[in-house]
């Protein structure tokens, strides 16, 4: 029974190690949320309250970053959260 358990855990660990060892990206969406939260108000206690209230948003942003945005960046070489050259030229 213990040998079967070890074999199952080993079979599950190999794909995880292959995926976890890759490039994980800059997580720019999550960083932007964190930056916004730190500067939402001038009062750090209100910022902490906002963090607690919107804390589920961090999980959502991290998941979107990990699955969608970082995959797009890996395949295309461009992060959708980076301002484009056209936007910066217009300013």
- 35 within some domain: yes
- Mapped to the 3 state alphabet, what secondary structure does 64-77 carry? HHHHHHHHHHHHHC
- 56 within some domain: yes
- Give the integer Cα–Cα distance in Å for 34 and 47: 11
Q: How much is the pLDDT for 32?
A: 92
Which residues of the chain are under the pLDDT cut of 70?
1, 14-23, 84-91
- 16 within some domain: no
Count the domains in the chain: 1
- 11 within some domain: no
- 12 within some domain: no
pTM of the full predicted structure?
0.63
Q: Which domain holds residue 33?
A: 24-90
Q: How much is the pLDDT for 19?
A: 58
- 83 within some domain: yes
| DSSP class per residue in 41-67 | SS-HHHHHHHHHHTHHHHHHHHHHIII
Q: How many residues belong to the chain?
A: 91
């Amino acid at each position: 029974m213990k040998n079967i358990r070890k074999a199952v855990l080993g079979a599950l660990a190999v794909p995880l190690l292959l995926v976890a060892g890759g490039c994980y990206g800059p997580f720019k969406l999550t960083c932007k949320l964190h930056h916004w939260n730190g500067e939402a108000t001038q009062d750090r206690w209100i910022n902490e309250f906002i963090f607690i209230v919107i804390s589920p948003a961090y999980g959502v942003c991290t998941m979107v970053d990990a699955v969608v945005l970082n995959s797009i960046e890996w395949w295309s070489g461009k992060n959708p959260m980076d301002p484009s050259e056209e936007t910066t030229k217009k300013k």
